Structures are given as C-alpha cells and as structure tokens.
Structure 1
Amino acid sequence: MSLLKTAQPLFAEEVLVELEVGELRIPVQRQSRKTVALHVLRDGSFEVRAPNRLPIGVIRSFVHSRRDWLQERLDSLEAGEGALALQYHDGAVHHFLGEPYKLKLMAATRWFASVGDGEIRLATNKLDELSVCKALQKFYLREAEVRLPERVVFWHRRLFNRDLPELKFRAMRSRWGSCASHGGIMLNISLLRAPLPAIDYVVVHELCHLQHFDHSPAFHALVGSVLPDWKARAELLTVPCGF
C-alpha cells in the first residue's frame, strides 16, 4: 500500500496498481452511471468512478490498462509542484523536521552536510541546481536512515508482537510511504521535512497496512487506537513530497 500526499476519503473499495515508484491505491466511487472513468482530483490524487453494479474485477482491469496514463499524470503533477516549491541556490529555504532552514552552499571535492543554526550546510564539487539537488537528497537519505528506524521500532512495538518489517528509504515523487504485499515498508526521505507528529502518522499508517492491506474501517480503527488525532497529524503534511 502507499500513502499519497493528502488524506484519502474512506471508500469501501480500492484498486491497487503497480507503477515505477511503487504501489498506488485508487479509491472507487460507485455512481449511477454507465461507464467507468479515472479522474484526477484537485489535491492531485486519483479516483475511479464506476457503475454501481460493475464487478470490481472489471474495474481493476480498466485501471491496470491505464498504468501509462497514471504514471504520466504523476510525473506531470510532480514536475509542476517541484518547479514551484523547491529551489537549490544558496539561501534557498528547505524544511527539516518541520522547521525552515536556509541552504549554505560550499564548493568542495568531497560531499559534506550538516544542519544547525538555521542552516543546512552542503559541500559538493559542483554548485549547479542538479548537483545541489542530488547532494540535498543524500543529506535527507542519511538523516532518514539515522532517525526513522527508531520511530518504526517505537510504533511497531505499540501495535504488534511480531518481527519488524523490512525497511527501506528512497526519494519518492508523490507518496510519503508504501507497504508492499510481502510486508516490506518504504519511507520517503522527504518525510524529514515534516514535523515529528506527521512523521509518526505516516509510520503508523504504513505499519497498520501489515495488518489491514486496505483502508477499511478496521484499518482506520487500528490507526486510531494508537493515534486518535491522526487526521490532524495528516494535515501537517504540507511540505513538498518530491525533489
């Protein structure tokens, strides 16, 4: 399962589709209509609108046939958001754990990164936009590998008495995290931009998919059992999701 940038409405049915960056979940909205269609909502998420009596298998087949279109739409949405939201020059503002920091860029033969005193200090051999972007991703990946496992362990112990899932981190275009059908969890390194309450919400959300691989009432009840304020936490995910 994957977590899109914005909280999803509660639907009884969903379709899973595998894209380049992982699994995308798309809620199904049943309506009095004759055709099935994919729609992009204002928040950038997707929705399937289908006739009331159309079998879910037919809906799945339709969505899977539109994988290329879905990937193109995701790439287009993320490219537009990134161009508006993020810059990579000296003094540009990027968030870390919910707080704004200015980039302090330095030319050096070896990569270096540190954070403090209102600055994210980056040393890289080139200072063009692409090189700085890659250096910044390396910084967020390092911090994710250091800081996020302890949040996963903490919430996993609150939820389950079982082995920890496989945990990976990467830059993701349009989702904060995902839980694969085999039980592995992937977290977006951009989570380090968000405040801790929002980070914990994403961690709990993905962990709960180990028990409920859907967004049923049982899934949300499990999330709410440890995070009764999960909706307020989800609203804190306002920082950019991609790079």
Structure 2
Amino acid sequence: MSIYRIGEREIEYTLRRSPRAKKASLSVTPQSFELLVPERATEEQINAVLERRRSWIIETVQHMRERARAQTRVYRFVTGAKIPYRGRMTRLTIEPFDGSLAEVSFRNGFQIRKPQHLSPDSTDSIIETALRLWLKRRVRDDARDFIRRHGERHGLKPRGVQIKDQKHMWGSCGQDRQINLNWHLIFAPKPVLEYAVVHEMCHLRHRNHEPEFWDLVGRVLPDWKERKAWLDKNEHLLGWEKVETSV
C-alpha cells in the first residue's frame, strides 16, 4: 500500500501493473484507490497520471466516504432491529431456546433462536456470526443456481464458486476458472446478484471489459445495464456497521 499526499492529507492507494493494461485507470473505495497501469509504465508517467487526476481523486474519495456513512448501523441484534436483505430492510425476531448454537431461518423476516444461557455481552457477537454464516450460504446457493441456469446454455462453466469477504470488489474470475463473489451481494436484490454472477462468468471467455465482453453479458442478461446501475447507485447500502455502545 502506498500513500498519495495532497497537502497535509494522506490517501492510501495501491499501484498495480498489468501486461494487459493499455492505459492507466483508477478505481476508488471509501478509504483508498487503486491505480492500474501498463507493466512498463515509468515513475514519471505514473506521477503524471496522479497529478492529472488530482481533483477527481479528492472529490471521488470524499463522495465515497459520505456514502459509506449512510450504511445501516446496528446497535443491538434484538427483536425489532433491521438489516438489509435482497434490497429491503428486514426485521429480526430473536427468541431464546434450549439449544447450544444460534439458529437462523427466514419467513417474512429473520427468525433467530439463541441459546438462552448466553450472557448479554456475548449475545450480539453470537447472533451476528450466525447471521453472516447463513447469508454467505445463501449467496453460494443462489450463485450455483445462476451458474446452472446460464452456464450450459452459453458455454460458460466455471470450475467452482467461492464466497469471500472482499473489500474492494464485488467479484473476480481467476485464471483457474474459479469465480469469487463478495458475500455482501446478498444485501442487493436477487437480479443484481444474478448480474454479478453472470459478469464473472463472462470473464471466462473475455478477460477484459472490451465491447465483446459486454456483448456477451447482454446476450445472457439483456437488461444488465439496469442491474448494474442499481449496484453502482446503492453499493454503499450493502451491509451493516455494528456500532459498539459504551455502558
């Protein structure tokens, strides 16, 4: 990780060289940005790109931070609390029971049974862990369904799918034909998750984002632009921030 300094302000960024890159490109997250450059780019060329995009970097990082502050905050995992799920805020119902592990189910909201012997200090972390595990399994199952639905028909067959906690991307497709997906996609509407899966499947044939790639995405999902637009607009809402409260 490198530091880009603008006056007294410091912004973390990652410099990545790629033999496939034909020109420099920037991607931004709330806390950092990535600069992708051709493999043989010189330090002088890199510094020139940073200086040329200086205003854009400042404005975009600030905008992303403001959007991140709008993320759902959870103070306690108790009955009546809400978390995002498939594009909607969804209510939690918590009930104690005699079991030893927290159990999660869904029916018009999340039904969570917690061991009644749990102390107040450990209840939140146990419930949050159980919720995360349930949601990650749901993403995996949905992704496999989408791969079965579209893979055979379009000749796009990944080796497998993994669900990860990725900070700076929604998905990736490795050279080993393994698709990786960010589990936070479960917070988006199901058609948006489908778009993310199809996007990575299409990288099995086209490793870049040239017109041929988007043509293939369009053959699989004719309305992909609307789904992508939803993700671009609402990505800051996909998740929750657990706020620790002091006694």
Letter of the 2:104 counterpart: A
Alignment of 1:129-140 (within 5 A): 129-140=124-135
Q: Does residue 57 in structure 1 map to residue 73 in structure 2?
A: no
| 1:28–1:47 Cα contact (<8 Å) kept | no
Partner-residue secondary structure (3-state), 1:210: coil
The aligned counterpart of 2:154 is: 159
| 2:16–2:36 Cα contact (<8 Å) kept | no
Give the superposed CA RMSD: 3.8
Q: Does residue 98 in structure 1 map to residue 93 in structure 2?
A: no
The aligned counterpart of 1:67 is: none
Quick one: which of 24, 29, 45 aligns to 1:28?
Answer: 24
Larger radius of gyration: 2
| 2:17–2:39 Cα contact (<8 Å) kept | no
Deviation at 1:219, TM superposition (A): 1.1
Deviation at 1:136, TM superposition (A): 1.3
Q: Percent of aligned positions with the same letter in both sequences?
A: 26
Letter of the 1:121 counterpart: Q
Q: Which has the higher contact order (CA 8 A, sep 6+)?
A: 1
Partner-residue secondary structure (3-state), 1:186: strand
Letter of the 2:68 counterpart: E
The aligned counterpart of 2:210 is: 216
Q: Does residue 141 in structure 1 map to residue 136 in structure 2?
A: yes
The aligned counterpart of 1:120 is: 110
Aligned length: 194
Deviation at 1:224, TM superposition (A): 1.4
Q: Deviations over 1:1-59 (max 9, x none)?
A: xxxxxxxxxxxxxx8679xxxxxx9x824xxxxxxxx6747x77846487xxxx64226
- Structure 1 alignment gaps of length 5 or more: 1-14, 19-24, 30-37, 64-73
TM-score by length of 1: 0.64
| 2:158–2:177 Cα contact (<8 Å) kept | no
The aligned counterpart of 1:5 is: none
| 1:114–1:122 Cα contact (<8 Å) kept | yes
Distance 1:208 1:17, change over 3 A: farther
